Structure 1
């Protein structure tokens, strides 16, 4: 019985991510953030920030400063913010991220 438990434990342990997989996941998370930051800077340059609230700008900049790991906390309200959010969403999807990566969410108050 002990031998079976040992074999089962070793087998189950082998299903977890390896160190190499952890490193790859971390590297991809960092790369996604770098790409998002580039997209944010390009969107600001091409679309502009007129009509964009300080809250929207700070939310995106905080998301980037936190390594894109602080979660969704940016809600686009104005037409310009929606335009920026749409452009950033398209850019992020084009570079292979899931939509859940993005910082956009509008919570009910």
Structure 2
């Protein structure tokens, strides 16, 4: 009686089994490390935002930029960029800096929800 699997098929089956095993092991490793990667990406985004804030502020200068806007950005950075949006641009220079920071942040791959800019309605 002849075997259902020929000798030619066995090496191909073993190869396929090895590929599937490696793929499953890799996906498990990826799933386990996703949380660590997200933390490191959050830290990287904040470091990039900090660098952009310092460089753009040095480039445009502080003239016309309100102290509230500078302090708000500094507090956001000091908190690891995780204290939520609470920086409201008020002067034309604040808005100009906010626009430049937004373009820089989008350029290094952050979503617009990362940015700290929001102006809350007052009664």
* Pairwise same-fold verdict (TM > 0.5): yes
Q: How many corresponding residue pairs?
A: 93
Give CA-to-partner distance per residue, 1:45-83, whole Å, 9 cap, x none: 111111111111110000000000001000001010000
Which structure would you say has the larger RCO, counting Cα contacts within 8 Å and 6 or more residues apart? 1
Unaligned stretches of 5+ residues in structure 1: 1-16
User: Any idea what SS the aligned residue of 2:37 has?
Assistant: helix
Deviant stretches of 4+, over 3 Å: none
Normalising to structure 1: TM-score of the pair?
A: 0.83
Map residues 1-109 of structure 1 onto 2, 5 A cutoff.
18-109=31-122
Q: Which runs of 5+ in 2 are unaligned?
A: 1-29
Name which one, 1 or 2, has greater alpha-carbon Rg: 2
TM-score (norm 2): 0.73
Cα root mean square deviation, aligned: 1.1
